[in-house]
Amino acid sequence: MHVDCRRILANDISYLKTIAKKRPTLCERKHSRDMSCETIRSRVLPPVQEERLEFGIAHVRIVYENYVFIEEELRSSYHSQNHFCYFLDKKADTLFKTRMHLLDECFPNVYIPHKQLSIDAWGHFMFFAYHECLKVLTEVDGWKYALLLQNYDLVIKSVKEFIAIYNILGGANDIPLHKCETRCQNLDKQKWDAKTLRFYNESATEQSRSNGVLKFAKGTAQVSLSRAAVEWMISTVNLSTIMHLFNNKKVYGIDEILYSSLQVSDGLGMPGHFTSACLEKGFWSPAVTRLSYHDSRLCRCPSGKSRNSICIFGIEDLGILASSPRLIANKILPDYDYAVVDCVHELLFNRTFRNLVNPHFELQYYKELPHVQYHRNHSINSSNEIDCSTNFRTILKNKDINRRRACRFGFFSMF
């Protein structure tokens, strides 16, 4: 079924209702697929000569099913300077694994680690999987940021938009920070100082931080990490003890604690970190990597579907996805609504290769993020203190543009 995405973006409500009623899915595309390298490359590679990027981006995605969606996401974000690491969940079936390994064989900038782990819905072993890919990527030159994704995350920014945004971040990590109360209530029984955790490698010159303590915060699994932060995680510190301690906890969403806790633990010195001062004053810190909406009695999902109280994006959400300042949308389900995926991919193609202007793309939004301001000012003068309340109000003002638009359809933003 053909979907005229332009009519939906033009707010043709009658047409939107027609598409939403029929809801095209990916089911019919799954089985027949030519998997020769020549054909795969013809589907993925750009139709015109690439423009040189200032730097590349490393996409890290944990995957377990729906190869066609994964391949089409690769096509949508592909550039020869970008790098793509896919960690295969052990529960993936043989056909899916075979197809994914073909991507590794067909493209020099696609990587599949040999190790496989069983990742559950609670997030156990999630950061172990990310860590395996990050280790592979530290051996590769040319990228400045790593984008961490899950199977059904939908990228909603073009390659060029990513570069512009990460340039503004300027080395700051993009990780949302919320108080970790319920999920972290049992963690205080353990000592979390750097010495007890054997945090710094013997070869690391971080003795001045040996008295640092890990502080807890809750965020999301989907984050943007500077290359300096990734190399610090792999080469400067030893995260093994922390990852095992977190992984042994019977806590839902345990995968949302590691990176946010490192980000807020300014005493440990992760490059691109934020400060714990804002959380201690009662202010959470927003981030732009992930867009997600919470389903509730007051604000229902426009698509009529949710999973674990998170809205599944449908064709009704296309306008919000097209205008959002966020980088990725969590989440979509190809077997429920693939029209929204096709339309986002078409939109990104037009922005990349047909010079379609994104009228909602404002770099000032990213400059005003608290962690970006902190990183910029902190690198100039370490004694500078951030005004959490001022920055908090600024971000809420910007967020409310999308929030008001979203609430007209009956739901609101979580992060």
Give the tens place of pLDDT for each residue, 185-228. Answer: 777 678 899 998 999 986 655 555 677 899 999 999 999 999 99
> What is the model's pTM?
0.93
173 and 226 in contact (C-beta within 8 Å)? yes
**Distance spanning both ends of the chain, measured CA to CA:** 34
Range 168-172 average pLDDT: 98
Least confident stretch, 50-64, 207-221, 258-272, 397-411: 397-411
Range 19-45 average pLDDT: 88
Dihedral pair phi/psi, residue 297, rounded to 5° = -65, -30
Helix, strand or coil for residue 125? coil
Instruction: Inform me whether the pLDDT recorded for 406 exceeds 60.
Output: no
Give the tens place of pLDDT for each residue, 279-300. Answer: 998 888 889 999 999 887 778 8
pLDDT of residue 22: 92
Range 133-153 average pLDDT: 98
Burial class (CB in 10 A: 0-12, 13-18, 19+), 252: middle
Instruction: Inform me whether the pLDDT recorded for 123 exceeds 90.
Output: no
Can you spell out the DSSP letters for 139-191? TS-SEEEEEEE-TTEEE-S-HHHHHHHHHHHTT--B--BB---STTTTGGGS-
Core vs surface per residue 17-33: b (16+ CB within 10 A) or e: eebbeebbbbeeeeeee
**Comparing 21 with 31, which gets the higher pLDDT?**
21
Q: Could you give the C-alpha distances from 380 to 69, 169, 268, 377, 383, in angstroms and in order?
A: 43, 15, 19, 5, 9
DSSP, res 192? -
Average per-residue pLDDT for the chain? 89
Share of the chain above pLDDT 70, in %: 89
